[in-house]
Amino acid sequence: MIKIINYLLLGLAIQSCSSINRSLDNEPENTLAGYYTYGHEVNTFQPCNDKEVFWVTGEDETLERINKSYYNFTSEPYEEVFIKIIGSLSEKGTSGFSTDYDGKIQIKQLIHMQKKSSTDCSG
């Protein structure tokens, strides 16, 4: 019974995070916008207007595409870029680098990536 309650609470938390961070009303609830940072032992996503930072996970092919695109928009290591993705949030990891962050996000699809600007999360 406790397991079921925990799964329900996790589902509600994920749903609330997804709806809070939606960038456009027409997009699915699991579309998120925010800042992505990549580098040696760093692979993170911070949703718009949120202090929480998530460790990025996903299919190898998806992560490879994101990482290759990242270098087209950066000139310095660990530089943030603005991205829109389809993904899902999950609990904090129990091992590895993910334990240093507020949770994990599994990116299913990269929709858009661009250099960071002051207007990224305002619309």
Domain ranges of the chain: 2-115
**Under CATH, what is the fold of the domain 2-115?**
OB fold (Dihydrolipoamide Acetyltransferase, E2P) (2.40.50)
Q: What is the reported pLDDT for 98?
A: 86
Entry pTM: 0.74
Per-residue pLDDT of 30-76, as tens digits, reads: 899 999 999 999 999 999 999 999 999 999 999 999 999 999 999 98
Which of 92, 105, 93 minimizes the C-alpha distance to 17? 105
φ, ψ dihedrals at 57, nearest 5°:
-130, 170
